Structure 1
Amino acid sequence: MLIWKSLAEVPADLRRTVVTLGNFDGVHRGHRQVLRRVVELAREQDALAVAVTFTPHPRAVHRPEVPHEDIVSTEQRLLLLEEAGIDAVLLQRYSLEFARQGPEEFVRGMFVDGLRACAVVVGHDVRFGQDNAGDFTAMVALGERHGFEVEAVDEFPALEGATPERRCSSTWIREALAAGDVAQAAAVLGRNHVLAGEVVHGFARGRELGFPTANLAADVAGMVPADGVYAGWLHDADGAAHPAAISIGSNPTFEGVSRVVEAHVIDRPEERVEDFDLYGQHVDVEFVERLRGMVAYEGVEKLVAQMRDDVDRARAILGAAPRPS
Structure 2
Amino acid sequence: MHYWKGLEAVPAGFGPSVVTIGNFDGVHRGHREVLQAVAETAKRHAASAVAISFDPHPAQVHRPESAPELIMGLADRIETLANEDLDALLMIRYTLDFAQASPEEFVKSIIVELLGACAVVVGHDVRFGHGNAGDFATMCELGEKYGFEVIGVEDIGDHRRWSSTWVREALNRGDVETAAQILGRPHRMRGEVVHGAARGRELGFPTANLETAASGIIPADGVYAGWLVDEAEVRWPAAISVGSNPTFEGVSRQVEAHVIDRPSEGVEDFDLYGQQVVVEFVAHLRPMVAYRGVEALIEQMREDVERTRGVLVNA
Q: Same fold (TM over 0.5)?
A: yes
Q: Distance in 2 between matches of 1:196 and 1:85?
A: 24
Aligned residue in 2 for 1:306:
300
Partner of 2:176: 182
Please name the residue that 2:279 is paired with: 285
Deviations 1:183-216 (A, max 9, x none): 0111111111011112122111101101011111
Q: Secondary structure at the match of 2:46?
A: coil
Distance in 1 (alpha carbons) for counterparts of 2:67 and 2:152: 31
Q: How does 1:169-208 map to 2 (within 5 A)?
A: 169-208=163-202
Per the alignment, residue 48 of structure 1 pairs with: 48
Please give the alpha-carbon distance, in whole angstroms, between the structure 1 residues aligned to 2:162 and 2:46: 31
- The SS at the match of 2:41 is helix
Q: Distance in 2 between matches of 1:144 and 1:247?
A: 54
- Aligned-partner residue type, residue 170 of structure 2: A
Q: Which residue of 2 aligns with 1:157?
A: 156
2:215 is the alignment partner of 1:216 = no
Distance (Å, rounded) in 1 between the aligned partners of 2:63 and 2:191: 28
Provide the residue aligned with 2:39 in structure 1: 39
Q: How does the TM-score come out when normalised to structure 2? A: 0.96
Instruction: Write the distance in 2 (CA, Å) between the matches of 1:272 and 1:266.
Output: 15
Aligned match for 1:317, one of 297, 311, 315: 311
Which residue is equivalent to 2:81? Answer: 81
String of CA shifts for 1:235-291, please: whole Å, max 9, x gaps. 122222111100111222111332211111112231242322222222111111111
Q: Deviations over 1:70-109 (max 9, x none)?
A: 0010111011111012121111111222222221111111
In the alignment, the residues of structure 1 paired with residue 281 and residue 3 of structure 2 have an alpha-carbon distance, to the nearest angstrom, of: 29
Determine the C-alpha separation between the residues in 1 that align with 2:280 and 2:222: 14
Letter in 2 for 1:35: L
Alignment partners' CA distance in 2, 1:82 and 1:237: 19
1:131 is matched with: 131
1:98 and 2:104 aligned: no
One-letter identity of the residue aligned with 2:196: G
Q: Secondary structure at the match of 2:205?
A: coil
Determine the C-alpha separation between the residues in 2 that align with 1:9 and 1:274: 46
Map of 2:142 onto structure 1? 142
Are residue 111 (structure 1) and residue 105 (structure 2) matched? no
Q: Which amino acid in 2 is paired with 1:257? A: V
Q: Aligned Cα RMSD in Å?
A: 1.4
- Count residues with an aligned counterpart: 315
Structure 1 length-normalised TM: 0.93
Question: Which shows bigger deviation, 18-27 or 127-136?
Answer: 127-136
Q: SS of the counterpart of 1:126? A: coil
Task: Give the 3-state SS of the residue equivalent to 2:265 in structure 1.
Answer: helix
Aligned to 1:29: 29
189-198 or 37-46: bigger deviation: 37-46
Which 4+ stretches in 1 moved above 4 angstroms? Answer: none
Distance 1:118 1:222 in 2: 35
Structure 1 residue 45: deviation in Å?
2.1
Structure 1 residue 44: Cα displacement: 2.5
DSSP 3-state at the match of 1:254: coil
Aligned residue in 2 for 1:62: 62
Q: Report if the CA contact (8 A) 2:19-2:38 is conserved.
A: yes
For 2:134, the aligned partner's letter is: G
Identity of aligned residues (%): 61
Structure 1: runs of 5+ lacking an equivalent? none
